[in-house]
Amino acid sequence: MWLEEFKTNPIEALLTSENNAIIYFTNRDLLSKKEKAIEYIWNLSEPIKILKKQKGDGTWKYPGKKANLFPHHHYSLIETWKKLRILVKRYEFTKEHPNIVKAAEFMFSCQTEEGDIRGMIGNQYATHYTGAMMAVLIRAGYVSDPRIEKGFQWLLSMRQDDKGWTIPILTHNFDKKTIYRLTSENVNPVQPDKSKPFSHNWTDMVLRAFAVHPKYSKSKDARIAGELLKSRFFKNDYYTSYKSAYYWIRFVFWWTNLYTSLDTLSRLGFSINDPDIRLGLEWFVNHQKEDGLWDLTYMPGKSVKENKKSTTERQWLSLNICRMFKRFYDLENNYLI
């Protein structure tokens, strides 16, 4: 039924990909065909190329020149997060692979006694990155690790009064000079002003961890935050960082967009009959291209440059959009049985 939503069947465009992983996952996830064991994907040239550049301590080296920022592991954490995210989310690597264990242990080494993963914005709390990184670690097989539970307890303690999340430092009206000092020096993390409203951008990133956890995905806390998130579709964020509503329709990197939010909400059990969910799904139906795929961005001023990226990237995005649609419909069908 989910394929009937689209003007053009996207399956053909995915099956004619030059990327074997896209063909594999299209057959397995969209057409329910039996495929080889996942180790076949792990041995493809694309992930092997990434793994070859991993250092002995489990990290990847940040490219180019870099300034001396606090803390010393800042750039290693950024690059390791980038690479681990691709290996786990795109190629479905798990801790059954020794390289993933090394990378995961490095990321866990950046977890503080409080429970957050620290270092992406100096010594300041990064609720959004902690949630997004936990989501990748959970998908890699660390769902029962006590360090993950510690992270969830910290995230729950850092909610705003409205039960959503933001980045604590943004809840204060600091000028640029102060923010630079607070994020580049070894100073204590700024505590949040919890009376300020949630941010849909950063609530989305936090909820990714809840969405892939068997217990927390069914929690009342996740449901409340999911309701908040979907209420903000196509609206400006409250805070200045990534404020424009156009970021909802820019599907690059790891930032919040309409796909990431709908993907999370599908995992949290929201229904296709929900008006907000329906609004989001209809946007994808109406903006599918003639070749059956979706562009990487529909954001004014960004579309020409970012959509020049390879067709393969558009296929990866389109595969994930199809997975999300199918998940919503599978959930609806299960309710009807």
CA distance 149 to 171: 26
52 domain residue, yes or no:
no
Cβ atoms of 58 and 103 within 8 Å: the answer is yes
Question: What does the pLDDT look like over 316-327, one tens digit per residue?
Answer: 999 999 999 999
Please classify residue 35 by burial: count the beta carbons closer than 10 Å to its beta carbon, then call 0-12 exposed, 13-18 middle and 19+ buried. Answer: middle
Q: How far apart are CA 278 and CA 301, in angstroms?
A: 27
* pLDDT: which is higher, 184 or 104: 104
> φ, ψ for residue 272 (rounded to 5)?
-65, -15
Asked if residue 234 belongs to a domain, the reply is no
d(CA 287, CA 1): 19
Is residue 337 over pLDDT 50? no
57: in domain: no
- pLDDT > 90 fraction of the chain, expressed in percent and rounded: 89
C-beta neighbour count of 5 within 10 angstroms: 16
pTM for this model (two decimals): 0.95
* pLDDT band per the 50, 70, 90 thresholds, residue 191: very high
Does the pLDDT at position 333 exceed 90? no
Which domain does 32 fall in, by range?
Answer: 1-36+244-337
| pLDDT digits 0-9 by tens, 77-118 | 999 999 999 999 999 999 999 999 999 999 999 999 999 999
* Residue 318, in any domain of the structure: yes
Average pLDDT, the chain: 94
Q: Report the number of distinct structural domains present in the chain.
A: 1
Q: Give the model confidence (pLDDT) of 13-23 as tens digits.
A: 999 999 999 99
Q: Is residue 13 part of a domain?
A: yes
For residue 279, being part of any structural domain is answered with yes
DSSP 3-state assignment of 117?
strand
CA distance 288 to 88: 27
Asked if residue 314 is part of any domain, the answer here is yes
> Does any domain span residue 325?
yes
| pLDDT level of residue 308 (50, 70, 90 thresholds) | low
Write the pLDDT tens digit of every residue in 25-72.
999 999 999 999 999 999 999 999 999 999 999 999 999 767 677 888
1 pLDDT band, cuts 50/70/90, is confident
Average pLDDT value for residue range 265-276: 97
Task: For residue 164, give every residue at least 6 positions away whose Cβ sits within 8 Å of its Cβ, in sequence order, or none.
Answer: 197, 198, 199, 200, 203, 225, 228, 229
